[in-house]
């Protein structure tokens, strides 16, 4: 049973990462002109990356907080599947939410890095 749950968790994590990456990549592509203007006006590429990652971090942290609240509410249901840990162990909640937020930030950083490499003239001419 635990092996099946582990496989399901890994598949869910992979789908989530691909989804986050896809959504952020789409948003970055829609904001290509804005990013080009920022770069043309002298914004350093690091500032563009930081802006996109910061916006993704807000969404990831809000999602992690909502997930912790939902997990605490549903922890009694999974209590029979746990061995050696409390269903409301704070270390597990911190480790799980920290891992998910870190993975979400990496998924946000990849398209942001690509957006910062865009030439401002190409971005302004594309539309």
pLDDT in tens, 18-30: 998 899 889 888 8
Residues 87/96, Cβ–Cβ less than 8 Å: no
Look at residue 87 in the predicted model and tell me its pLDDT. Answer: 82
Look at residue 92 in the predicted model and tell me its pLDDT. Answer: 84
Token pair belonging to 23 = 């959504």
Q: What is the pLDDT of residues 79-107, one digit of tens each?
A: 777 777 788 888 888 998 999 899 889 98
Residue range of the domain that includes 13: 2-77+84-125
| 10 HSE (CA, 13 A, CB side) | 5
Look at residue 127 in the predicted model and tell me its pLDDT. Answer: 60
> What is the pTM for the complete model shown?
0.78
Q: What is the pLDDT of residues 41-85, one digit of tens each?
A: 989 999 999 999 999 999 999 999 999 999 888 888 877 777 777
Please give the tally of structural domains in the chain. 1
Look at residue 126 in the predicted model and tell me its pLDDT. Answer: 67
pLDDT score of 123 more than 80: no
Q: What is the pLDDT of residues 110-120, one digit of tens each?
A: 999 988 888 88
**How many C-beta atoms lie closer than 10 Å to residue 105's C-beta?**
17
CA-angle at 117, arms to 115 and 120, nearest 5°: 85
pLDDT score of 32 more than 90: no
Write the CB contacts of 1 (distance below 8 Å, at least 6 apart in sequence). Answer: 81
């Amino acid at each position: 049973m635990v092996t099946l749950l582990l496989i399901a968790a890994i598949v869910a994590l992979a789908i989530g990462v691909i989804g986050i990456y896809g959504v952020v990549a789409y948003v970055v592509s829609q904001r290509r002109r804005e990013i080009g203007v920022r770069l043309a006006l002298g914004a350093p590429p690091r500032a563009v990356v930081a802006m996109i990652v910061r916006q993704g971090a807000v969404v990831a942290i809000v999602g992690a907080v909502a997930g912790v609240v939902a997990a605490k509410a549903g922890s009694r249901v999974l209590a029979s599947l746990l061995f050696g840990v409390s269903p409301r162990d704070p270390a597990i909640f911190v480790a799980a939410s920290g891992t998910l937020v870190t993975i979400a930030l990496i998924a946000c950083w990849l398209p942001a890095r690509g957006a910062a490499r865009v030439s401002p003239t190409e971005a302004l001419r594309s539309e």
